Structure 1
């Protein structure tokens, strides 16, 4: 029989949080409870950190000992992580009746991927500034496309999503 695991939960609420802070705190608590149950079922040790910032709840699962197990929860290109995030959002919806925009991260994957996406945006911008009329990026999910669209806009260029389903991708062009 597997040993009982205890998952630590740490909450950080910033003073500049808007009036919906209590709703976001409740959302974080529900999400943390759901994720703790999943970790217990999978017999994975992990600490769950909850942070509310910019009107959104951020949940992180970290562990010093279960690195390989947590990699499995991220999956190839973050596919399992995205699915867990959606399941966690559904858990919050079921408990509160409110849709959630919470972001789930496991072992810093999202931070590393965000840095990669920023570099992809910079590379596309360099190609456009070098004379290429448009750059089509590899397909990516909605969350990652949003990050790239924002990075492209900050670089003074335009971007548009094209394609359908798993082939949906971004095309970058010079600003009109």
Structure 2
């Protein structure tokens, strides 16, 4: 019965990745021709997806401030590909090796801020980033036991990320207990001036030390 069912409902054949690669490359060339005078596009198939690399004299224009333009171009290209090929094939766009350089920069920034948070005990916030960049920071900080990272809430594409010390709350409570001003001593009931007038208060004092 299972074989008959499989035969009656065959899987829809997926187009070869080479076809999707050619479609993505042609559409990217069409878009770039409207923006810059000259560009060279190379494409490869990686991890069941399409990777596109662009070289251009106007790479700064195509990358944009904080990578906003390259992210917008990649999003547009993904929409084009997914509209024609609904199989959700990943499409990654890179310009002048920006993605690798950005990953190295984020790795260095995350580790540097983690050290700062560990020593200061105060959280540090990174400017808004896209999901890909936030994932890089999360992965970099996973082995760092003393800190944790969290993205801001909201529906926007770009979100801030904050690095927290893991024991920040307990540290604040401990500091508050140790710096709590002592109450003025009451009348002494013992010849020893160091003896607490209220025995019930003694354990609390010992705990705060």
Moved more, 39-48 or 118-127: 39-48
Q: Please say which of residues 84-93 and 101-110 is displaced more in the overlay.
A: 101-110
Name the residue aligned to 2:129: 140
2:131 and 2:157 in contact (8 A); partners too? no
RMSD: 2.4
SS at match of 2:124: strand
| TM-score normalised by the chain length of structure 1 | 0.73
| Residue of structure 1 equivalent to 2:21 | 28
- SS of the aligned residue for 2:127 comes to coil
The correspondence of residues 9-158 of structure 1 with structure 2, limited to 5 A, is 23-42=16-35, 44-63=37-56, 67=57, 69-156=58-145, 157-158=147-148
In structure 2, what is the Cα distance between the partners aligned to 1:167 and 1:93?
Answer: 22
Aligned equivalent of 2:163, options 161, 167, 172: 172
Tell which has more relative contact order, 1 or 2 (C-alpha 8 A, sep 6+): 1
2:151 matched residue in structure 1: 161
Q: Is the 8 A contact 1:30 1:95 kept in 2?
A: no
8 Å contact from structure 1 (residues 138, 170) kept in 2 = yes
User: Counterparts of 2:45 and 2:144 in 1: how far apart (Å)?
Assistant: 28
Q: CA deviation at 1:107?
A: 1.5
What is the distance in 2 between the residues matched to 1:175 and 1:128?
10
**How many residues are matched?**
151
CA distance in 1, matches of 2:81, 2:157: 26
Deviation of 1:87 (Å)? 0.7
Between structure 1 and structure 2, the one with the greater Rg is: 2
Give how far 1:174 is off.
Answer: 4.2
Give the Cα separation in 2 of the matches to 1:140 and 1:55: 26
User: Which segments of structure 1 move beyond 4 Å, counting only runs of 4 or more?
Assistant: none
Q: Is the 8 A contact 2:106 2:136 kept in 1?
A: yes
Residue 166 of structure 1: how far off its partner (Å): 6.4
**Structure 2 gap ranges (5+):** 1-14, 168-209
Q: Give me the whole-angstrom Cα distance separating, in 2, the residues matched to 1:38 and 1:171.
A: 36
Mapped to 1, the partners of 2:20 and 2:26 lie a distance apart of 10
- 5+ residue gaps, structure 1, are 1-21
